[in-house]
A and B are shown apart, each in its own frame.
Chain A
Amino acid sequence: MTHFSLSLPPVYKPFQVDLEHLMENIKEQYVNISIEEAIIVENTDNCIDEGYTEINFDLKNGLLQILMLGDGMDSKVFQETLPRIAATTKVTKKIRSGLGRYGWGMKVSMYVADYIIIETKKGHFHGAQSWKLIDGIPKYKKEIPKKQKDSDFTLIAIKLKKSYHQKISLDFIKRTLQHFYPTILGGAPVRNRYGKKRRLRVLLKSKLVESPPEVDYEKKSPIKVRAVRREATGYVFLARETLDEAARGISIIVHGRKIMKDYFGVHGSKDDRITGYLHADMLIDDVAGDKTLIRREYRWRKLSEGAAKQLGDFMKEVGAIREEKLPKDIIRHVHQEINNLIRHFPELQELARKLGISIRREVLIPEREGDVPTRLEEGSSRSRGLRPGSEKGGHGVPISSGEEPAKAPSNALGEKRAVRRKRRRGLQIVARPETEKKEAWFSPEGIVVVNSKFPTYDKARKMRSLSYHMDRCAIEALLNYALENGIIKEEEAIDYRTEVFAKWGEL
């Protein structure tokens, strides 16, 4: 008998999922919020994303019931998407605009539950199913719907494990809701994943959950930031007293859910009293991780930029940060001062001309596209006044001897081109130690030498007025030089000096 072995061409097969391990991984995602909090917020987030208008939490004998009114799941979602892990209706290739996105938010509830029953009604569809974690593996089965209600709803009944009876209390649910949804509880409208805004009633044992107590503030100011064509609004407060660490900073609220706190890089001396919130729905696609993080991408940067400015202004207003006004007068160009001074004194103008200092002169710089036709002739300087070529190697600027020496525009009519530029030979002020007992002098090379060993120099240094000292020395040195060279007459010297210094003081 002949044996045939049939070999089929290999085909790609989907990976198998280790459900137990996957569920563990899902639980691990919750880093900044506890698993108990996750039960409350994941269900509330789902409620926000859809068209529900009311959510009611009830807790009795270890049974946590979350009843959401105003919407429900259709048969396809309920029967196909819901009992699948990491499956969601909220993410398409083009849009992700809901708080839910991973398709595992509700599933994590199984960790705290003996079982969960989910019942929904939408239009004519009415269905129920139960979930249970058996040996670490999530399992579900169909149930008979029991709740009689005319309008659409979804009811999630979580039978808590005994170990969670203490942890998940009515007070815990209230605090969690107040922490994560402070403005929804205050009546602020919230956007669902279709972009529609509505007020969501949040109840605990059929009573509206109070919004968290407003901070006792000294000052309150609105924040309004326009970024990526949308508006983020909120308030910043300066509390009267130091706040608990958890209350400090500006809460970034996206679709009603508080994601994180931030100061937008603005810090001051009263950070422990600064609090507030900013509704920033434009960041919905940037919410990451366990929804306590926002990716620092373009939208965040734009928002943060605008918010930082407003928070900065507020902080300045309340004296939390000092106005960083830079002293405008501190940087005064010494040449400019000397030039201004010289302009008022014809004798000094004469001196400046003679020495060639602080006088603008015109120079030609070779430039291929220049408007001045010129000849290039042997230049006095190889580098100054020349521009390096645009190509690698710096064509036009000789590097080693033996290469063609650099040439400069001569202004004689030629085929080369150049541009005119204004240059000024500046007056240099330098410090150096001299043993001679002279405070400063003017060297005709255009340098004022200030003696750093002269006692006034040290005095000025200690009094932190070196700039004044150097400027004054420069003027004194110029005046002395003008006097020594007969530019100023000796008999007029005292008055002249007084006039020059008076003018300098006015500049």
Chain B
Amino acid sequence: MGRTLESGSPRFIVKLNKITYPNGEKLTRSTVPFNAEDVTYFPKDNAINEVLPIIDESYHELVKMLQDKGFEALPEALDRFFEKISKLVILGGLVEVLPGDVSLDINVVADALISSNWFHGIVDYVRSEFRKGKKVDAVRYAESVRELVEIFGVNYALALLWKEDIGMKRSTLMALCRVGGETPKIKELIRRGLKLTIAFELPSVDEEHREKIAEELVSKSYAEAKRYLKRTKTSSS
């Protein structure tokens, strides 16, 4: 059975790319980046085959709406687009591909994104959790930061947050990004009590090992978890 937008299945990182097909056709398509070095979750189930057609279709609708109604419809179209896709994926590459597909200046697209409800929703949530000792939902917090970074890039996202009076450090942003792209199991462990700051320090090993280590850590106190991580990292070096 295919996924539905309401399924609540784990989100993963999707990037919109311009791809040249073997027949020479050049199209914007959603893709799931694979990088063995990166610790970003790469879905091993059928999620890619189920979700990506939905993203492609939603993007197609976005482009069509803009072509039909003009760039005045941009904020509304973007909100509608994100409403459909952000329950399923954390999207990147939009700023790179959309201007070309709808013949708009990149600045216009970026500005529309910044004025969208999607953007304000994310920033409001990040603000509500920023510097809060006990996060209401640490995973959502991390995913929100990752969403901003996927769309705007690290530097720009950081500057945007600062402009919104959220003085997040670059290192924190990077660490949150990492957690935002973690595997569903690790995110679940964070919800079950694995400390965010401990999750920041999970070693960069394959998903299976990382999940195993995270499982070991979830029941440990902060000090014990730090010691365990230190030992694990030392023993592997």
Contacts and interface: CB of A to CB of B under 8 A. Distances in A.
Interface in B1-44: 15, 17-22, 29-37, 42, 44
Contacts of A430: 15, 17, 31-34
B231 A312 contact: yes
Contact of A393 (B52, B114, B162, B213): B162
Given A326-B203, A397-B159, A431 B48 contact: yes
A326 B107 contact: no
B171 interface: no
B164 to A, nearest CB: 10
B236 A325 contact: yes
A432 B31 contact: yes
Contact of B44 (A327, A394, A405, A461): A461
B160 A399 contact: yes
B231 to A, nearest CB: 6
B90 to A, nearest CB: 15
Contacts of A3: none
Contacts of B33: 428-430
B52 A400 contact: no
A466 interface: yes
B37 A331 contact: yes
A397 B156 CA distance: 7
Interface in A352-387: 382-384, 386-387
B153 A333 contact: no
Given A301-B223, A305-B227, A449 B31 contact: yes
Contacts of B73: none
A399 B220 CA distance: 43
Nearest to A403: B107
A443 B20 contact: yes
Interface stretch (B121-129, B136-144, B187-195, B204-212): B204-212
B34 A429 contact: yes
B53 interface: yes
A309 B232 CA distance: 11
Interface in B145-164: 152-153, 155-156, 158-160, 162-163
B170 to A, nearest CB: 8
B118 interface: no
Interface residues of A, number: 56
A309 B230 CA distance: 10
A433 B48 contact: yes
A114 B51 CA distance: 81
A331 B36 CA distance: 6
Contacts of B57: none
B209 A327 contact: yes
A290 B198 CA distance: 33
Contacts of B167: 392
Contact of A334 (B36, B155, B158): B36
Contacts of A432: 29-32, 48, 52
Contacts of B206: 327, 330-331, 467
Given A327-B206, A388-B162, A393-B162, A401 B111 contact: yes
A394 B159 contact: yes
A265 B34 CA distance: 36
Contacts of B163: 393-394, 399
Contacts of A327: 205-206, 209
Given A330-B205, A453-B49, A383 B37 contact: no
A384 B106 CA distance: 14
Contacts of A394: 158-160, 162-163
In order of increasing CB-CB distance, the 3 nearest A-B pairs are: A394-B159, A430-B31, A326-B236
24 contacts: A265-B228, A326-B232, A327-B205, A330-B206, A334-B37, A393-B159, A393-B162, A393-B163, A394-B158, A397-B156, A397-B159, A399-B160, A400-B111, A428-B17, A430-B17, A430-B33, A432-B31, A432-B52, A433-B49, A433-B53, A443-B17, A443-B21, A461-B44, A470-B34
Given A432-B48, A452-B52, 19 more contacts: A265-B228, A324-B235, A327-B206, A327-B209, A328-B236, A335-B37, A383-B153, A384-B155, A386-B155, A393-B162, A393-B163, A394-B158, A394-B162, A397-B156, A431-B34, A432-B29, A447-B31, A450-B34, A452-B49
Interface of B: 15, 17-22, 29-37, 42, 44, 48-49, 52-53, 106-108, 110-111, 114, 152-153, 155-156, 158-160, 162-163, 167, 203-206, 209, 213, 220-221, 223-224, 227-228, 231-232, 235-236
